[in-house]
Amino acid sequence: MPEIIHSILSVSYQILRVYFYLMFATLILSWTPIRNTRFYNVLEKITMVYLNLFRGWLVVGQIDLTPILGLILYQFILQMIGRAL
């Protein structure tokens, strides 16, 4: 693989990793009082682009567990990309 393509893929992979951690932080913070802050609202707007694809698939009572499934799927795909690099 040419050096420039490998560099572009590596940078893309790192950006996707940062997005994973932002999604993880959003899910954790959604259970805290921080949920009512401007910081959380911005974080939610960024990460819900992906997580909303999974909204409502697995609801237990009033708890929606599907964003966690989306996060697990994202992590699996991220690992596959990491191994390919």
Q: Residues, the chain, total? A: 85
Range of the domain at 49: 3-84
Residue 9 pLDDT class (50, 70, 90 cuts): confident
Q: In which region does residue 60 sit, left (phi positive, over 0), alpha (psi from -120 to 50) or beta (all else)?
A: beta
- pLDDT tier for residue 1 given thresholds of 50, 70 and 90: low
Count of the separate structural domains present in the chain: 1
What is the Cα–Cα distance from 42 to 70, expressed in whole angstroms?
20
**Residues 72, 85: Cα–Cα separation, whole Å:** 20
pLDDT, tens only, 29-72: 988 898 889 999 999 999 988 888 877 777 777 777 788 888 88
